[in-house]
Structure 1
Amino acid sequence: MSLFDHLVIFPVLIPFFVAVALLFPGLSNSLSKQRVVSITANILMVVVAFSLLFKVEAQGIQVYALGDWSAPFGIVLVADLFSVLMVCLSAILGLAVTMYASAGEDKTGAFFHTLIMFQLMGINGAFLTGDAFNLFVFFEVLLIASYSLMIHGGGKQRTQANIHYVFLNLIGSSLFLFALGTLYGTLGTLNFADMADRIPLLSSNELLIAKSGALLLLAVFGLKAAMLPLHFWLPKAYSTTSTPVAALFAIMTKVGIYSIWRVHGVIFGDQAGELANIALPWLWPIALLTIAIGAIAVLASKSLRVLCSNLVIVSVGTLLVTISLNTVQATSAGIYYLLHSTIACAAMFLLAGLIQQQRGQAEDRFVAARAMPQAGVLGFIFALLAIALIGMPPLSGFVGKALILQSVTNASEAMWVFPIILVGGLIALIALSRAGTSLFWRTNGENTSALKGHPLQYLAIGLLVVILPLMVIFGGPVSDYTQLAAEQLKAGLSLQQLNEVAK
C-alpha cells in the first residue's frame, strides 16, 4: 500500500501532529519558527486537499477504515465530492488566516498557531467522518480550540462573548449526546450508511423515538449553524474576537449546515420511509425568517465587523433555503453559494481588521475619522467584496444567487424565495453602501500616524479575493463539480457499498 492510499486521513493527521510539535520547547519559545512551521503546514494541507479532490474526482468515493475494521464496527472516514470540497475550503481559509496572523496578531496571546491547527483538525474531521459519534468527537475538538481562540488577546468584551459562546455550546454538546443515545438505542448503529439502511425498517413503536432524536440533532446543528432562533450568539462572538479568528470562524457555521445536509438530507432524506424529510416543515419558515432577521440586523449594524457577522447569518438562511428546496439542482446551487459566502465573508473580516488598524480609535465603526493612509487599495478591495456579498455581477455572489433562484421550479416556493433573497440583496446593497461611505468618505484630516498593512496581511486577503472572480471564470467546471457532488450526496451509500469501496 502506497502513501497515496492514506491520503484521506492526512487532513486530520497533519494539523494534529503539527499542533503537538508546536508545543515542544524548540518551537514553543520561538514565534518566528512557529510561523514558518504553521504556514508550511497549511500549504501542505492545501496540496493534500486538492490531491484528494483530484483522486476522488477520478476514482470515486474514497473510504478509509482505521485499523482495517469494517463498518459499522470500525471508524471510517469517507471522502466524497462534497466532503473533500469542504476540506479544500478549510485548507485555503487556514492558510489565509495563518498568513494574516503572522503579521503580528499571533503575538497577543499564547499558543495561537497550535490552537489554529487543532481547530482545522476538528473541522476537517467533521467533514470526513462517516459516523455520527465521531462527528460529535470532531465537533468537540473544534469547539474546544474555538473557546481559546475566541478569547485570544483578552479583553472584557471577548471574555463576555466567550462565556455566552461556551455556555451555549456546552448545552448543544449535551443535547448532541442525548440525540446520539436516542438514535443508537433505536437503530443500534451510528454509522451514517448503516443508519440510512435501517431507518426505513423501523417499527411503528420506534418511529417516534427516532423522530425525536432526528429533530434534536436538527436543533444541535441549527445552533452550530446560527439559524433562527439560535443565532443570537454569533454577532457578538464574531465581532469581538481577533480578526484572523473571526475569518476562520466564517466556516464554523458551514460545519453545521454541512451536518444538516449530511444527516437530514441523506439519513432522513427521501429514502427514510415514514421519517422521510421530517426536517423540511421546520426548515422552510426558519430559513426565510433567518434571512429576514439577518437582513434587518445588517441595516442596524454600527461597525463593519458586526455588519459582516450579520451577513453570515443571512448566508446561513440562504443555504437553509437550498436545503429546504430538497432537489439536486438546489443542493448544487447551495454548495456553490456556500463556497462563495465563506470566502467572501472571511475576506471581509480580514479587511475589517486592516481598516480597524488604520483608523485609530474610530476602528471599523461607521463614524467620521481621519483618512486611512492606504485608503485607495482598501477601498478597492472593499468595493470588490461588497459587490460579491451583495450578489451583483460579475463576481461569484451573482452566480450563486442566480443558481439558487433558477433551482426554484415550484410557483408557490418561488413566491416566497424570490422576494426574500432579492430584498435581502437590496438591504445588503444599502448597508454596504452606507458602510463604504462612512469608512472612506467621511474623513476629517490625514492620519499619518496610523499603522499600515503588512504585506502578509494583503497577501492573505488577496488569496481569498482572487477566488471570487475565478469562481466565475471557471463557473462551468465548478458548477459541474457541485452538480456531481449534489447527486452523490442525494444518492448516499449503503453499508454494503461503503465496505466494498473500503476494500
Structure 2
Amino acid sequence: MNHWLTAPILIPLIGGILQAFMGYAPIALRRTLAIATTVLMLVAAIVLLVLADDGSYRLYAFGNWQPPFGIVLVLDRLAALMLVMTAVLALFCHIYAIGGTDESSRQFHGLFLFQLLGLNIAFLTGDLFNLFVAFEVLLIASYGLLMHGEGTSRTVPGLHYVVLNLAGSAVFLIAVGMIYSVTGTLNMADLAVKIPQVAEENLPLVKAGGMMLLVVFGLKAAILPLCFWLPGAYSNATAPVAALFAVMTKVGIYAIIRVFTLIFGSQAGELAGLGMDWLFPLALITLTMGVIGALGAASLRKLVAWQVIISVGTLLAAISFGTVAGTSAALFYLLNTTWVVGGLFLVADLVDGQRGSAQDKIVTAPRIANRTFLSVLFLMGAVAAVGLPPLSGFFAKLLILKSAVTESDVAWLWSVLLIGSFFTLIAYSRAGSIVFWRNVEGHIEEPQKLTPSLSVSASALISLSIVMVILAGPISRYAEDTAAQLHDTSAYTDILSKPMVGEEK
C-alpha cells in the first residue's frame, strides 16, 4: 500500500484541527499555517498525479482489510486530476482570502481546510457510503463558509442551500440502502462485479436506487431543475468562497462519471447506461437556462454564477455520450471552466471594491481605478469562459463538439452549444462595456487597494487559461488516457484481488 494516498486527507485534516485550536492566535500565524497547509496539499496532489500517470490503480486499505471490506482509497488518473485541480484552485483562493476576507471570522481557515478534506475524500474513496460521508464533511464546512462575512444577504440563499443539500443527503442515504439491500456491498469495485449478476426480480430496486443517485449527483452538480439555488448562494458568498465553490458542482459531475461509468457502465447488463437517455436533454436544457440567466444578470457575480450552470450543462452533455472521446473532452473543459470561473469571481470582487456604491452591478458609474488591469483580466476570463480563440476554452469546446457522433447528437449539441456561446458572449460584452467603459461624471472615494495577494491570485487563475493552451498537448494526452482508463472497468475491479500488506502475491 502506498501511504501517499492518505496525504491529501491527512494534510487538511491536521491543518484544520490546528486552526480550530488557534482561533485566538495572531492572524499572521493562522495565515502562515493555512497557506503552508494548502501548499503541502498541492505538492501531495502533484506527487499522486505523477504516480497515477502510469495507468495503474493504487489501493490503500485502512486496517489492512481486504476489499470489499473496510475503508479503501483508490488512486487513478481521474482522482489525481481532480486533486490537482482542487489544490491549485484552493491555493489561489486562500492567497486571496489573506488579503482581508479572513478577518471577519476566526474559524475561516479551519472551515476552508475541512472543506478541502471533504473534497479530497470524495475523489479518493472507493466506497459509495464513504462518498456520502465525504459529501457531508464538505457540505458542513461549506455551510459555515457560505455564511462567512458581514451582512444578512447570505441568510436566505444560504438557507436554501442548506435545506436542499440536507434533502439530497437523505435521498443519497436511502439510495445506497436500496442498493446494499440487494447487492450486500457498497464497495464500487465489488458493485461493478455484482450489478450485472442481480436477479431479474431485484432489478427494479437497484434501478430505482441508481436513478436516485443520479438525482442526488444532479443536485450537487446543479442540473436543471435542481440549479436555481446556485446563483443566489454563489453570488452572495465572499469572493474566495465563491471561487472555491466553483469546484463544488464538479464533485457532483465527478460522482456521475465515476458511478455511472464504473457501476452502471457498458458492462452492467440490463442496467447499462442507466439514466443517460435523460442526461443529454437535461444537460442541453441546463445550458440554455444558464445562458438565459447570464443575459439577465444584474451583477458580475450573478453573471459568473450563471456561467457555472452553463459549464455544468456543457460538461454533462459530453459525458452523456458514454464514449472515451466525450469523457476526454469533458475533462479538458473541466479544468478550464473550474479555474476560469474561480478567477472571474475574484475579478468581480476586485471590481466591486473599486466602484463604491455601484459595487459589481452592471450599471454605469464613475471611472474606476486600475481600469486597464481589471478590464484585461475580465476580458481574458470572458474569452476563456465563452470559448473563443486563442484561449483554452476554445480548444475545450472544440473537443466537445467533435465528440458527438450520431447525426442527432451532432445537430442538437452543435446548435445549442454554438448558439448558447454566442449569447453568452453578448452577456459578457454587455457587462464589460457598461462596467468598464460607459462611465459617468463623478469620483469614487477610497477605492479598495489592489494588494499583491489580491492581484496575483486573481491574475493567476485567469492566466491558467493561457498555460492550458501552452500545455494543451500533455493535458489532452492525460485526459484521453484518463477517459480510456475509466471505460476499461475490468482494471478497476482487479483491486479486489490485490494482496494486502503481509500477504504473498
Both structures adopt the same fold (TM-score exceeding 0.5): yes
Q: Secondary structure at the match of 2:110?
A: helix
**Structure 1 residue 156 displacement after superposition:** 1.7
**Alignment correspondent of 1:480:** 477
Structure 1 window deviating more from structure 2 (169-178 vs 442-451): it is 442-451
Matches within 5 A, 1:356-371: 356-371=352-367
Alpha-carbon displacement from aligned partner over 1:404-462 (angstroms, at most 9, x marks no partner) = 01111211110100010101110111000001011101212343521121110111112
**Structure 2 vs 1, CA of residues 50 and 368 (structure 1 numbering), >3 Å: closer, same or farther?**
same
**Alignment correspondent of 2:99:** 103
**Alignment correspondent of 2:162:** 166
Is the 1:71–1:495 Cα contact (8 Å) retained in structure 2? no
1:316 to 305, 312, 316: 312
| Separation (CA, whole Å) in 1 of partners of 2:303 and 2:460 | 22
- Is it true that 1:152 corresponds to 2:154 in the alignment? no
**Structure 1 residue 325 displacement after superposition:** 1.1
1:251 to 247, 250, 254: 247
Matches within 5 A, 1:125-274: 125-274=121-270
**Structure 1 residue 285 displacement after superposition:** 1.3
Q: Given residue 228 of structure 2, which amino acid in structure 1 is its aligned partner?
A: F
**Structure 2 vs 1, CA of residues 236 and 501 (structure 1 numbering), >3 Å: closer, same or farther?**
farther
Q: Secondary structure at the match of 1:71?
A: coil
**Alignment correspondent of 1:497:** 495
Alpha-carbon displacement from aligned partner over 1:36-58 (angstroms, at most 9, x marks no partner) = 11011111111111011001113
**Structure 1 residue 501 displacement after superposition:** 7.2
**Alignment correspondent of 2:402:** 406
**Structure 2 vs 1, CA of residues 284 and 58 (structure 1 numbering), >3 Å: closer, same or farther?**
closer
- Is it true that 1:47 corresponds to 2:34 in the alignment? no
**Alignment correspondent of 1:120:** 116
**Structure 2 vs 1, CA of residues 154 and 184 (structure 1 numbering), >3 Å: closer, same or farther?**
farther
Is the 1:94–1:248 Cα contact (8 Å) retained in structure 2? yes
Q: Given residue 144 of structure 1, which amino acid in structure 2 is its aligned partner?
A: I
Alpha-carbon displacement from aligned partner over 1:336-368 (angstroms, at most 9, x marks no partner) = 001100001000001001011111111100111
**Structure 1 residue 86 displacement after superposition:** 0.3
**Alignment correspondent of 1:327:** 323
**Alignment correspondent of 2:447:** 450
Alpha-carbon displacement from aligned partner over 1:95-143 (angstroms, at most 9, x marks no partner) = 0111000000001223000000000000011011001000000000000
Is the 2:55–2:77 Cα contact (8 Å) retained in structure 1? no
| Separation (CA, whole Å) in 1 of partners of 2:235 and 2:313 | 19
| Separation (CA, whole Å) in 1 of partners of 2:231 and 2:445 | 32
**Alignment correspondent of 1:7:** 4
**Count of residue pairs the alignment pairs up:** 499
**Structure 1 residue 300 displacement after superposition:** 0.6
**Alignment correspondent of 2:457:** 460
Q: Given residue 120 of structure 2, which amino acid in structure 1 is its aligned partner?
A: N
**Structure 1 residue 494 displacement after superposition:** 4.8
Is the 1:28–1:34 Cα contact (8 Å) retained in structure 2? no
**Structure 1 residue 266 displacement after superposition:** 1.6
Q: Given residue 9 of structure 1, which amino acid in structure 2 is its aligned partner?
A: T
Q: Tell me the TM-score normalized by structure 1.
A: 0.97
Q: Identity of aligned pairs, percent?
A: 46
Is the 1:62–1:502 Cα contact (8 Å) retained in structure 2? no
Q: Secondary structure at the match of 1:77?
A: strand
| Separation (CA, whole Å) in 2 of partners of 1:415 and 1:477 | 30
Q: Given residue 45 of structure 2, which amino acid in structure 1 is its aligned partner?
A: A
**Structure 2 vs 1, CA of residues 59 and 486 (structure 1 numbering), >3 Å: closer, same or farther?**
closer
Is the 1:23–1:114 Cα contact (8 Å) retained in structure 2? yes
| Separation (CA, whole Å) in 2 of partners of 1:497 and 1:45 | 26
- Is it true that 1:84 corresponds to 2:45 in the alignment? no
Q: Secondary structure at the match of 1:86?
A: helix
Q: Given residue 19 of structure 1, which amino acid in structure 2 is its aligned partner?
A: G
| Separation (CA, whole Å) in 1 of partners of 2:285 and 2:303 | 18
Q: Tell me the TM-score normalized by structure 2.
A: 0.97
Is the 1:194–1:494 Cα contact (8 Å) retained in structure 2? no
Gaps of 5+ in 2: none
| Separation (CA, whole Å) in 1 of partners of 2:183 and 2:462 | 45
Matches within 5 A, 1:288-327: 288-327=284-323
Is the 1:96–1:463 Cα contact (8 Å) retained in structure 2? yes
1:396 to 392, 403, 412: 392
Is the 2:55–2:76 Cα contact (8 Å) retained in structure 1? no
Is the 2:363–2:435 Cα contact (8 Å) retained in structure 1? yes
- Is it true that 1:24 corresponds to 2:21 in the alignment? yes
Q: CA RMSD in A?
A: 1.3
**Structure 1 residue 466 displacement after superposition:** 2.3
**Structure 1 residue 334 displacement after superposition:** 0.3
**Alignment correspondent of 1:415:** 411
| Separation (CA, whole Å) in 1 of partners of 2:418 and 2:358 | 32
| Separation (CA, whole Å) in 2 of partners of 1:485 and 1:59 | 8
**Structure 1 residue 463 displacement after superposition:** 2.2
Is the 1:81–1:485 Cα contact (8 Å) retained in structure 2? yes
**Structure 1 residue 490 displacement after superposition:** 1.0
| Separation (CA, whole Å) in 1 of partners of 2:443 and 2:24 | 40
Gaps of 5+ in 1: none
Q: Secondary structure at the match of 1:157?
A: coil
